[in-house]
A and B are shown apart, each in its own frame.
Chain A
Amino acid sequence: MPRSTLIRIVAAILVLTAVIAIPMTQVHWNGAADSSQAHPIDTLLNVMIVLSSFVFSIVLVMLGYCIWRYRAKPGDEADGEPIHGHTRLEITWTAIPTIIVLFGAVYSAIVLADIEKKSSDALPVDVVGQQYKWSFGYPVGHGNEVHSDVLNVPVGRQLALTLQSIDVVHSFWVPQWRIKRDVVPAGPSGNHIDNHVVVTPDKVGTYYVICTELCGYGHATMRALVHVWPQHRFNGWLQNQEQAQAKGGGPPFPTVETTTAGQTSTSPAGTPTSASG
């Protein structure tokens, strides 16, 4: 290939990379970023978008060039040049992607360690999933727990969530927080299931917990409200809730031990689903 063609191809690849990557990195693909874990994840995504745009541009430009340059004329029965390989080129396109993906792996591992760093003053919250609702418990000392169907949390303080399921596998996800973890029925032994996850909401707002693991008939609507409050309002809510509960109010809280195995059903009220209508 003449040097001038090579330069033009490389230039085309770089231009196309910029054309794809610059607008793509301006869009907030993941939606609002409202936890301190969201920001490093979004930065990682943007870095990957740039690298991917480069790879995708190489493929598109080379493909486009070959189609434009080597397209057969009608009736052309000739063969192409018998090029069987090129060792240096093959080593290059083995080595460079290896370096890129290893970079991606190291970077991801760093981000992972960062978003899972535990804080010593984290607020413990018990999350219980069941077909098809969420329940939340706040330990308040002396073995007591405040219960709620809405996840009320303070802003700017790390939450240490402990996830438990009483029936099938669910998954806890608040998209604006970027954090997701399956809610697994672990059984009395715990089965070494890692059910602790941390997240630090850094904006006041209202969100939904979305179940993202297929759990049956009501999977699509298995949601719970999330309120992120300033710390003092959260404290006020917690006290009110504790007092209301002491008087016998508050929602009933599901206990993990009382369910029997093999009785899970994929339809409401334990009746089999009918396939139609």
Chain B
Amino acid sequence: MAVALKRPGLPRAFLGAILGFGFGYGLVVALRALSGLPLTQTQQTGYPQLIVGSITGPLGFLAGIGGFDYWLRWAIGAPTYPHELEHKDHGAHSWRDYFKFNTDHKVIGIQYIVTSFFFFFVGGLIAMVMRAELAQPGTQIVNPGAFNSLFSTHAALMIFVFVIPIFAGIANYVLPLMIGAPDMAFPRLNAFSFWMLPLAGILFLASYLCPGGAFDAGWTGYAPLSTGAPLGQSFFNLGVQFAGASSVATALNFLVTIITMRAPGMNFWRMPLLVWANMSTSLLVVAATPFIAGVQFMVLFDRVLHTNFFQALNGGDVLSYQHIFWFYSHPAVYIMMLPGFGIISEVITTHARKPIFGYRLMALALLGIVVLSYTVWAHHMFVSGMFAWLRVPMMVTTLLIAVPTGIKIFSWLATLFKSVLHLRSTAMLFALGFIVTFTMGGISGVMLGMVPIDIHVSDTYFVVAHIHFVLFGGSVFTIFAGIYHWFPKMTGRMCDEALGRVHFWLTFVGMWGTFLPMHWVGMEGMPRRVADYSAQFGDWNLLISCFAFLLGAAQLIFLYNMIVSWRYGPKAPGNPWRSKTIEWLVSSPPPIFNFDEIPRVVGGPYEFGVPGARHAILAGEGAEVPAPERAVVGAAEVPSP
């Protein structure tokens, strides 16, 4: 036991969390005692002893898990590890290694994915409770206050500890392999980023234990509702800090990895689109995420330190909260979508056996979205009472985002033209389903972007429908496509495609049945974020709830399939989909250090149907006829017949 508590690992991490929490709590109590104040303070916006403890506790956890060990030794000039132990934290030799501070990007990728899916199922269960409450008008299961907590935690979990990090997880696994790198640029920072993620999720969930219940001001946490809310709100403010720090560190890691660690021969125009997508996403994360971290600190300061950032009567400015919040949170919707675009490009090109149509324009469209997405935040505020002149310019930029997005949709469709379309592949089904639902979400997005329509439907169920079309029909479909596509690579096992198809169809039908009617009730007058509603919407809501339960049940099939296939699935070959990108040139799962020798990139990533074309050559293949050296053919060449 004592040994386990000395070694980096979960036992020491839990001890660290307890000690850290005790330190923070004790510090506040001691300082209060010195100042002659009552030892603890329990105003609903206060509890400084708990707040400080909830910052130092997670830091203690990170120290315990081993996050600082190497850096600390280095910083104080102590000997780090002897050479043979340099990689002792690297790679998984047994399942236990997944519960450690591990520097292998493949282990971290799996850690991310499994942790995120855990929160996906928790968030999904919360959604089921909400739909049960909403099945009939009136309040039956939870009171309005508890309902406010449910949708707030549902959104916070799904956004901050599911969609955003799972994309980081998938890319963590796949991206270094794709660019022919042995690992990420900063493996320890990578592991550190991961371990902040469960802390964020636990802080969100811990708010349920607070007096006054979990945070209930929505995931948007508008001030001054949030600045006056009970204690749980502070846990939202803190959870966002850890989730945000985690994604900023990962994004920096991706940027450096992509820019400096590509295999020889892989110029920018030979990068797979998933790499382009994650580079674009990372550019958004590093610049935008600090804004939400900052604004949540400002709310926390208003609550605990009685600053006046958002206290109107004391000279604060309520709308500033919304401006700063959306300056992050609009780019955030692209943070939650661009990696998905990358996944869809990989899946479609592979399972349709065709080069991606208009590769260069596809990459440029991603960068176009990055630039535009910083210029549209106030379209969430058309009815907020902000200065009126900003509405029309923001409407124009908002609508213009439809152009690069449209380019992507049309290019995927053109990729399918004259293809050999493998419809029995679950990944492909999710990709095609994504195209349909995301187009629908894009259409309602354009409507929401138009100020006069937005004035009517803003903050109604129309918005709920729209975000679920783009986040569930969009992001989550791409996540499923990616998981089914890379499952053999990650686990070394094939997953059950027949079950996968059942999962797809139930999810597709459940998703449309749940979210399509929400447009209608919203336009007719049902506001969002209500536990109770006018009886005229009862029938539609009952139908919506039924489809929502179907949608929820379908995810159990996915869970079953993943667990059973991971354990018992047939062994996967290195390249079951006959794909061209580098991750498929190594075994499934790949060796601990990925490549014996760094591969050489000799062509574009998607040269399906081009005789003799290769994307990359592994060491030891030199005897083969070298492939023709050709750059990716861009938009300018080869007209279609």
A residues sitting closer than 8 Å to B (CB atoms) are: 1, 29-31, 40-41, 44-45, 48, 52, 55-56, 59-60, 62-63, 66-67, 70-72, 76-90, 93-94, 97-98, 101-102, 104-105, 108-109, 111-112, 115-116, 163, 167-169, 171, 173, 175-176, 178-189, 191-195, 210-221, 259-267, 272-277
Bound-state CA distance A45–B635 (Å) is 36
B418 to chain A: closest residue by CB: A81
Bound-state CA distance A81–B313 (Å) is 67
Bound-state CA distance A262–B217 (Å) is 15
Do residues B145 and A83 form an inter-chain contact, with CB atoms below 8 A? no
**Closest chain A CB from B549 CB (angstroms):** 22
Q: Tell me the dominant secondary structure on chain B's binding face.
A: loop
B409 within 8 A of A: yes
Residue in A101, A189, A213 whose CB lies within 8 Å of B315: A189
Q: A29-B520, A219-B529, A261-B308 are in contact. Are A182 and B384 (CB under 8 A)?
A: yes
Residue in A30, A86, A98, A212 whose CB lies within 8 Å of B459: A212
Contacts of B319 in A (CB 8 A): 184, 191, 193
Contacts of A191 in B (CB 8 A): 312, 317-319
Contacts of B217 in A (CB 8 A): 214, 266
Besides A45-B447, A63-B435, 13 new A-B residue pairs in contact (Cβ under 8 A), listed by A number? A82-B354, A83-B355, A84-B359, A89-B640, A104-B450, A108-B450, A112-B451, A185-B313, A187-B313, A262-B302, A267-B145, A273-B213, A275-B213
Residue in B225, B360, B419, B453 whose CB lies within 8 Å of A48: B453
Do residues A274 and B452 form an inter-chain contact, with CB atoms below 8 A? no
Residue in A45, A72, A220 whose CB lies within 8 Å of B453: A45
Task: Return the CB mask of B336-362 against A: 1 if under 8 Å, else 0.
Answer: 000000000000000011110111110
**Closest chain A CB from B322 CB (angstroms):** 9
8 closest residue pairs by CB, A with B: A275-B213, A264-B228, A187-B312, A273-B145, A175-B525, A220-B530, A272-B212, A79-B609
Bound-state CA distance A192–B399 (Å) is 27
B530 to chain A: closest residue by CB: A220
B440 within 8 A of A: yes
Residue in B388, B400, B416, B578 whose CB lies within 8 Å of A63: B416
Contacts of B228 in A (CB 8 A): 168, 262-266
Bound-state CA distance A45–B460 (Å) is 16
Bound-state CA distance A275–B532 (Å) is 17
Contacts of B392 in A (CB 8 A): 105, 109, 112
Contacts of B145 in A (CB 8 A): 217, 266-267, 273-275
Residue in B432, B455, B641 whose CB lies within 8 Å of A67: B432
B residues sitting closer than 8 Å to A (CB atoms) are: 44-45, 142-146, 148-149, 208, 211-214, 216-218, 222, 224-225, 227-230, 302, 306, 308, 311-319, 352-355, 357-361, 383-388, 391-392, 395-396, 399-400, 402-403, 406-407, 409-411, 413-414, 416-423, 432, 435-436, 439-440, 443, 446-447, 450-453, 455-456, 458-460, 520, 523-525, 527-533, 578, 607-610, 632-641
Contacts of A194 in B (CB 8 A): 385-388
Do residues A275 and B146 form an inter-chain contact, with CB atoms below 8 A? yes
Bound-state CA distance A180–B227 (Å) is 24
Contacts of A87 in B (CB 8 A): 635-636, 639
Do residues B421 and A66 form an inter-chain contact, with CB atoms below 8 A? yes
Do residues B458 and A262 form an inter-chain contact, with CB atoms below 8 A? no
Do residues A104 and B399 form an inter-chain contact, with CB atoms below 8 A? yes
Do residues B314 and A261 form an inter-chain contact, with CB atoms below 8 A? yes
Can you list 9 A-B contacts (CB < 8 A)? A1-B641, A80-B419, A80-B420, A82-B354, A104-B450, A105-B395, A216-B148, A261-B314, A266-B212
Residue in B452, B524, B639 whose CB lies within 8 Å of A40: B452
Contacts of B608 in A (CB 8 A): 79-80, 82
Do residues A275 and B214 form an inter-chain contact, with CB atoms below 8 A? yes
Do residues B524 and A108 form an inter-chain contact, with CB atoms below 8 A? no
B413 to chain A: closest residue by CB: A62
Do residues A112 and B452 form an inter-chain contact, with CB atoms below 8 A? yes
Do residues A44 and B218 form an inter-chain contact, with CB atoms below 8 A? no
Bound-state CA distance A176–B145 (Å) is 28
Q: A30-B456, A59-B439 are in contact. Are A266 and B640 (CB under 8 A)?
A: no
Bound-state CA distance A105–B446 (Å) is 10
Q: A220-B532, A276-B146 are in contact. Are A86 and B639 (CB under 8 A)?
A: yes
Do residues B225 and A216 form an inter-chain contact, with CB atoms below 8 A? yes
Q: A80-B354, A212-B458 are in contact. Are A56 and B312 (CB under 8 A)?
A: no
Contacts of B440 in A (CB 8 A): 56
Contacts of A48 in B (CB 8 A): 446-447, 450, 453
Bound-state CA distance A273–B218 (Å) is 15
Contacts of B634 in A (CB 8 A): 84-85
Most B CB contacts (10 A, CB to CB) among A59, A98, A102, A186 go to: A59
Q: A267-B145, A275-B214 are in contact. Are A77 and B578 (CB under 8 A)?
A: yes
**Closest chain A CB from B428 CB (angstroms):** 10
**Closest chain B CB from A82 CB (angstroms):** 4
Do residues B640 and A83 form an inter-chain contact, with CB atoms below 8 A? yes
Contacts of A186 in B (CB 8 A): 312, 318
Residue in B227, B609, B639 whose CB lies within 8 Å of A262: B227
Q: A77-B578, A104-B446, A108-B395 are in contact. Are A173 and B527 (CB under 8 A)?
A: yes
Do residues B318 and A84 form an inter-chain contact, with CB atoms below 8 A? no
Do residues A93 and B385 form an inter-chain contact, with CB atoms below 8 A? no
Contacts of A80 in B (CB 8 A): 352-354, 418-420, 608-609
Bound-state CA distance A1–B386 (Å) is 52
Bound-state CA distance A211–B527 (Å) is 8
Contacts of B403 in A (CB 8 A): 94, 97-98, 101
Bound-state CA distance A1–B211 (Å) is 67
Contacts of A31 in B (CB 8 A): 523-525
**Closest chain B CB from A206 CB (angstroms):** 14
**Closest chain B CB from A43 CB (angstroms):** 10
**Closest chain A CB from B243 CB (angstroms):** 21
Q: A63-B413, A70-B418, A81-B418 are in contact. Are A112 and B225 (CB under 8 A)?
A: no
Contacts of B227 in A (CB 8 A): 262, 264
Contacts of A176 in B (CB 8 A): 525
Residue in A168, A179, A276 whose CB lies within 8 Å of B455: A179
Contacts of B610 in A (CB 8 A): 82
Do residues B436 and A59 form an inter-chain contact, with CB atoms below 8 A? yes
Q: A89-B414, A185-B312 are in contact. Are A52 and B443 (CB under 8 A)?
A: yes
Contacts of A275 in B (CB 8 A): 145-146, 149, 208, 212-214
Do residues A94 and B407 form an inter-chain contact, with CB atoms below 8 A? yes
